[in-house]
Structure 1
Amino acid sequence: MKTFIHYLSVLIATLIIVSCENELPFSIKDNPPKLVMNALINAESQANLLFLNFTGKDATTHIQNATIEVRVNGQLTESLRPLPPKQEGDPQCRFNITSKFTPGDVVRIDALTDDGKYHAWAEVTVPQRPAEIENIDTLTVPMLEYGHIRKYLRYRITLKDRPNETNYYRIVVDKQTTLRKYNYEEEGKGEYIFWTKHSYSFIGREDIVLTDGQPSTGQDEDNGLFDTARNIYGVFDDSRFKNTSYTMTVYNSTHVETASEEGFFHQMDIIIHLRSITEVEYYYLKALNLVDSDIYDETIDEPIKYPSNVHGGTGMIGISTEVSKKIEIETPQRW
């Protein structure tokens, strides 16, 4: 999981209006470190990672000794210690949460350092599961992308809003490419090994819901006419289709590129995930959309304030529920 931590500064505007003789003192002691908890948990999975850090003057710093406690409806379900380092030289503190969550559960997650100096916690109510995806129509179509016409797969996804409530959603297009490679052993014997690569990129610029009512085309983007944030994380609310059905349009490429040393194509599946997310996760991912879009320049644009639901620290703990449909791509064209 990629984690983005940004810190606000109120000194810039103040320094502009004071003279050089009136320097403002700053002490790091006035801003002691805080725990940073980050996790986007899928209730359908029992393998979810939580990341724990300290805030710092210039960047986050790593924690060595801490415990995570997970409670569901007031009952302790697991007490976790950090996972071993993912790779040599990577001290990132990670925890694998395996508790089972169901819609309506009240989940509390506490982070405590071994020295007793720091304690942060977050409480999240697991959202109700979305209605099943009603239908997915697919069609191969030509699209203009960066001045060139390429073939893309178009998905028209019909979904239905949960009635009589305000809902927040996320659409995830998971392209799963399975590769195979023959693993040679001594004496000429061996076997095929298989592994799967995931790609989550998609194009949703034509959809009125995914663009907050500002759809565009590839030509618009190439001309720089629509200088708006891209909905990279596929988040949306139900304000434009409340209590009814809606057909969403997205695109992605099923092009396969594999070098011989990497493996040979075996099969491809597209999994469309529709997730119910909490309101705070919705606004958090919208903020990430702005930061991760090409239009944001942190040197001239105003700092972004990220939503946080962590008490005694900062960060984001989100829990989602989902439904999904699989589309099998038997013989993808090599465009």
Structure 2
Amino acid sequence: MRTRICYLFILLIALLTTVSCENELPFSVKDNPPKLVMNALINADSLTNVLYLNFTGRGYATHVENAMVEVRVNGQLSESLRPLPPQTEGDMQCRFHISSKFTPGDVVRIDALTDDGQYHAWAEVTVPQRPHEIADIDTVTIPMTKYYYTQNFLRYKINIKDRSNEDNYYRLIMDKQMTVKDYNEETGEFVSRTIHRYHFISREDIVLTDGQPTNSDDEDNGMFDTVKNIYGVFDDSRFKNTSYTMTVYNQTDIDGFPEYGTNVKMDIIVRLLSITETEYYYLKALNLVDSDAYDETINEPIKYPSNVHGGVGIVGISTETSKIIHIEKPQR
């Protein structure tokens, strides 16, 4: 009897193995040829936008060597571009400097073509309407606990107004700019240099946390990691057609310049961007990838949105409004 059971068990394993093998899907590189990867997050208020072009690969992206980019605005050719020169020796990244001026409502089409005519990818984007001016920003320095450590943070109460009768997608950027003067020994002159920091804390804000605010206790328990809104994206579903005051924090100490003491010029530029729906979901995906809450070994692969035809990638265009806060003496 034991021998019969053992035989049946071995037969079952053999059958399962056979079925498993028959259902395997063969992979062939020939069936998955490279595609053009076109990526650009364009600010309509800037004339120094850059588009990146690559090829897909089996394990990583590969470089494009000979290609051109055409930019059309409302059906009219605005510029034809060749790749920028390498930034450093051995730099193979294919970049294009887009200098066309875009205004809200423009329909922008960007085509990328390889010189051999084998690859052609394109994207079409309507420039979003400019967000309303930031109505008011109230600031105060308060002690804040983060990972069991309490120190002073600057709290910002930012009052914004939604554009009426449309679905809107936004991005908040807290651009902390620190400028110092360095002595150049080669020229014998003082030169200014500026470093940007973009980190801010939005854990208490309903909109920026998708209705799931947290506090220091949630961070300190270490049991449940939450997705942090690193890229500051949000939609208007919680304040449609009305105003809203969001709450964020950042530090105004002189990180990166400890040797200069308080001899640093610091500005906080609060930037509110109106972005496309595709860019909104793309940056939300990046929030998940860059968060401790995502583990690629146990979570499902993330599907990135793409608006590129004939290839993959994303081309987004944004408009913005901003306010500057001057920090006289950085807080320690």
TM-score by length of 2: 0.91
Q: Which residue of 1 aligns with 2:311?
A: 313
Shift of 1:261: 7.8
| Equivalent residue letter for 2:44 | A
| Equivalent residue letter for 1:237 | D
1: CA distance, partners of 2:186 / 2:83? 36
1: CA distance, partners of 2:171 / 2:190? 36
2: CA distance, partners of 1:22 / 1:108? 43
| Equivalent residue letter for 2:169 | Y
Q: For the structure 1 residues 134 and 260, does the alpha-carbon distance in structure 2 shift closer, same or farther, using more than 3 Å as the test?
A: closer
Runs ≥4 in structure 1, deviation > 6 angstroms? 260-264
Does structure 1 conserve the Cα–Cα contact (< 8 Å) formed by 2:262 and 2:330? Answer: no
Aligned-residue RMSD, C-alpha: 2.0
Q: For the structure 1 residues 216 and 264, does the alpha-carbon distance in structure 2 shift closer, same or farther, using more than 3 Å as the test?
A: closer
Question: For 2:191, what is the secondary structure of its paired residue?
Answer: strand
Q: 1:282 aligns with which of 280, 283, 290?
A: 280
Q: Which residue of 2 aligns with 1:228?
A: 226
% identity of equivalent residues: 71
Question: For 2:101, what is the secondary structure of its paired residue?
Answer: coil
Question: For 2:282, what is the secondary structure of its paired residue?
Answer: helix
Shift of 1:266: 2.8
Q: Which residue of 2 aligns with 1:33?
A: 34
Question: How many residues matched?
Answer: 317
Q: For the structure 1 residues 171 and 208, does the alpha-carbon distance in structure 2 shift closer, same or farther, using more than 3 Å as the test?
A: same
Q: Structure 2: which 5+ residue stretches go unaligned?
A: 1-15
Q: Which residue of 1 aligns with 2:197?
A: 199
Does structure 1 conserve the Cα–Cα contact (< 8 Å) formed by 2:47 and 2:101? Answer: yes
Larger-Rg structure: 2
Does structure 2 conserve the Cα–Cα contact (< 8 Å) formed by 1:178 and 1:268? Answer: yes
Shift of 1:219: 1.8
| Equivalent residue letter for 2:303 | K
Shift of 1:145: 1.0
Does structure 2 conserve the Cα–Cα contact (< 8 Å) formed by 1:179 and 1:195? Answer: yes
Does structure 1 conserve the Cα–Cα contact (< 8 Å) formed by 2:205 and 2:248? Answer: yes
Shift of 1:255: 1.1
Q: Which residue of 1 aligns with 2:68?
A: 67
Q: For the structure 1 residues 155 and 16, does the alpha-carbon distance in structure 2 shift closer, same or farther, using more than 3 Å as the test?
A: farther
Q: Return 175-184 or 273-282, whichever deviates more.
A: 175-184
Does structure 2 conserve the Cα–Cα contact (< 8 Å) formed by 1:177 and 1:269? Answer: yes
Shift of 1:87: 1.3
| Equivalent residue letter for 2:158 | I
Q: Which residue of 2 aligns with 1:267?
A: 265
| Equivalent residue letter for 2:234 | F
Structure 1 segment 135-146 matched on structure 2, within 5 A: 135-146=136-147
Structure 1 segment 95-174 matched on structure 2, within 5 A: 95-174=96-175
Name the one with the larger helix percent: 2
Shift of 1:18: 4.8
2: CA distance, partners of 1:285 / 1:52? 19
Q: For the structure 1 residues 288 and 18, does the alpha-carbon distance in structure 2 shift closer, same or farther, using more than 3 Å as the test?
A: farther
Q: For the structure 1 residues 264 and 47, does the alpha-carbon distance in structure 2 shift closer, same or farther, using more than 3 Å as the test?
A: farther
